[in-house]
Chains A and B, each alone.
Chain A
Amino acid sequence: MNLLEKLDAAAAARKAQLPEGLAAFGIPIDESYSATEARIGERRVLMLGTNNYLGLSFSSECREAAHKAIDREGTGTTGSRMANGNYYGHRALERELAEFYHCRECIVFTTGYQANLGTISGLAGVGDVVLIDGDAHASIYDGCILSGADVIRFRHNDVVDLEKRLRRLGDRSRNTLIVIEGIYSMLGDQAPLAEIVKLKNVYQSTLLLDEAHSLGVLGETGQGLVEKARMIDEVDFITGTFSKSLCGIGGFCVSNHPQLNQLRYISHPYIFTASPSPATIASTRAALKLLRDGYSLREQLWRNAHQLYSCLKETGYCLGPEPGPIVAVLLDSPKQALTLWNGLMAHDIYVNLVLPPAAPEGKSLVRCSINAAHTAEQIGRVCETFSKLYPAVTQ
């Protein structure tokens, strides 16, 4: 089988497995009206599948900052941070993120994916070990592959399992990078950070916390799980993305270790790519201020999350382990998940569909994402629709 035939075989297998579900992936969004509504084909749809947790995608401050940056600096930097693409805005955003986390160093990357790729592959190398949670994001897996380090998984959020694996490593635990996430993207649950910090101290390992889904969502000023758990001095490296609560695109790593700065010279995902555009940096800087001062937005977000979680639970749906902005409905089969997804779309509600093997434990997921801009009426409409569809989904 040649290269193209292999792709044809994969496409045929996908079509055979998901004849009705293909429309759910990569659905064309024809027009975006607000943080909560969009047009898909002829339908005006309630968006319950974005990562726009604080609802800032249409904020006037961010849009104005982006417009001004385009007028002042053009549409793109056309170069790497290590060459002609290292603008004032990139350096200013790094200072502001370092200040936000009370950290000494910050590096801004072009995407959140590259932040994990560049940080993990810069920190660990051949002969080192990276210990990752079983539900880790693909960017973490890919960073591990790029690093050349030995990669070992521990059972999702299982501290006893993590300790067992650290113990087996013996002296190698000192050259081990443990990678966890603040909020896990599939089930929406949070890492047991305090217990993991204890272990990393006992075994003298290094800890990287990815706050991609928890930035803006957890903690009084929105730093993420690190703030909620009061562990800022205990976590060695924090990565995050601009593409969720900050409504842009890009990523970062902050740390109190001065060695982070060395990654600028060795990390290919930092060096061999163009830097973020001036508009992206400007809107992210504006969004970071709104996020930091957005206590009331976080309160609204959590009210919305609790409303949806409790209503779906009362209806009888099996949900992820704890309430949060990601409300994952767990279903036993792809057929059930497709029935629910199609039913929601027929009622003009968009959610994300996750099928095996992408979903944990062989389950299928209908994954809802709440944001601060959703109204109680919108959430009420979603609850009512889920309730109507329950008999068809569970029959």
Chain B
Amino acid sequence: MSKITQTQITGLLCQRLACFTDVEAEISPETNLITHLAIDSVKLLNLIMEIEDQFDISVPLNALVDVLTVQDLANLIYKIKSSS
């Protein structure tokens, strides 16, 4: 997964998020993780551990303060993946 694109990351995230939420909604890059998908803080932290394993990266929890939407999360993962 050396040259994964931002779009591919967003697509993978949308698929993964569907398993993390009880809310039946179409997940798009603009979807808000908390207000639309009702992902609580603990679920979000568990999701991050799965993402770390899937992309073989470290995602510091302190980097999540600006993450509101699926796109924000995808951007963060892409940034970390690109610099690793």
Contact = CB atoms under 8 A, between A and B. Distances in A.
Interface in A132-170: 134, 144-145, 148-155, 161, 164-165, 168-169
Contacts of B58: 129, 150, 152, 165, 168-169
A168 B49 CA distance: 13
Interface in B42-84: 42-43, 45-46, 48-49, 52-53, 56-63
A28 interface: no
B67 to A, nearest CB: 14
B30 interface: no
Contacts of B63: 150
Given A164-B53, A165-B52, A168-B56, A152 B42 contact: no
A167 B48 CA distance: 17
Given A145-B62, A151-B61, A152-B58, A357 B41 contact: yes
A150 B42 contact: no
B50 to A, nearest CB: 10
B60 A152 contact: yes
A157 B60 CA distance: 19
Nearest to B53: A164
B42 A153 contact: no
Interface residues of A, number: 20
B43 A357 contact: yes
Nearest to A147: B62
Contacts of B41: 357
A356 interface: yes
Contacts of A134: 45-46, 49
Contacts of B56: 168
A357 B42 contact: yes
Contacts of A168: 52, 56-58
Nearest to B61: A151
Interface in A328-372: 356-357, 362
A357 B48 contact: no
Contact of A153 (B40, B57, B61): B61
Contacts of B40: 356-357
A18 B49 CA distance: 29
A129 B63 CA distance: 12
Nearest to B60: A150
Contacts of B49: 134, 153-155, 161
B84 to A, nearest CB: 8
A151 B63 CA distance: 9
Contacts of A356: 40, 42
Nearest to A358: B42
Contact of B62 (A151, A161, A357, A362): A151
Contacts of A148: 62
Nearest to A126: B62
A167 to B, nearest CB: 10
Contacts of B48: 153
Nearest to A165: B58
A217 B48 CA distance: 34
Contacts of A161: 49
Q: When A and B form their complex, which 8 residue pairs have the shortest distance between CB atoms, in order from nearest?
A: A150-B60, A357-B42, A151-B61, A357-B40, A168-B58, A152-B58, A151-B62, A151-B60
23 contacts: A129-B58, A134-B45, A134-B46, A145-B62, A149-B62, A150-B58, A150-B62, A150-B63, A152-B58, A152-B61, A153-B45, A153-B48, A155-B49, A161-B49, A164-B53, A165-B52, A165-B58, A168-B56, A168-B57, A168-B58, A357-B40, A357-B42, A357-B43
Given A144-B61, A165-B58, 4 more contacts: A152-B58, A152-B60, A153-B49, A161-B49
